[in-house]
Amino acid sequence: MFLFPGSIMQDVMIVKEGQNCQSPIETTYYTDIKMDDICFFCGKIDNLADGEVIQELQRKFGTVRLICNPCWQSGKEPITRNKKVKRN
């Protein structure tokens, strides 16, 4: 099955079987090709959180997955990876 018949992405995109609407965005979405900024949980492109808490997480971690305000307000937390180490 082709997701994007006739598109330049037709032979590039790979779909993992078993995905559903509750599955988080695959981390591979954020690698290789520059894609739109989207919420890690729901895929929305608007109303992304960018306040002081997010900025603080970005100072502490190498990777902070984007989260929209509605997902954050529903109790989901920003996903982080690669804690930065302070060197003397």
Over residues 21-66, the pLDDT tens digits come to: 666 666 666 665 666 788 888 888 889 999 999 999 999 999 898 8
pLDDT at 42: 86
Q: Domain for residue 3, yes or no?
A: no
Whole-structure pTM over 0.85, yes or no? Answer: no
Q: Domain for residue 50, yes or no?
A: yes
Q: Domain for residue 14, yes or no?
A: no
Q: Domain for residue 10, yes or no?
A: no
Q: Domain for residue 25, yes or no?
A: no
Overall domain count for the chain: 1
Mean pLDDT, range 63-72, rounded to an integer: 92
- The parent domain of residue 54 ranges over 37-83
Host H or E run for residue 83 = strand 80-83
Closest of 12, 75, 72 to residue 47, by C-alpha: 72
Distances (CA, A) of 83 to 49, 64, 77: 20, 10, 16
Q: Find all residues with CB under 8 Å of 72, minimum gap 6, and list them.
A: 49, 78
Q: Domain for residue 24, yes or no?
A: no
Alpha-carbon dihedral sign for residues 57, 62, 66, 71: negative
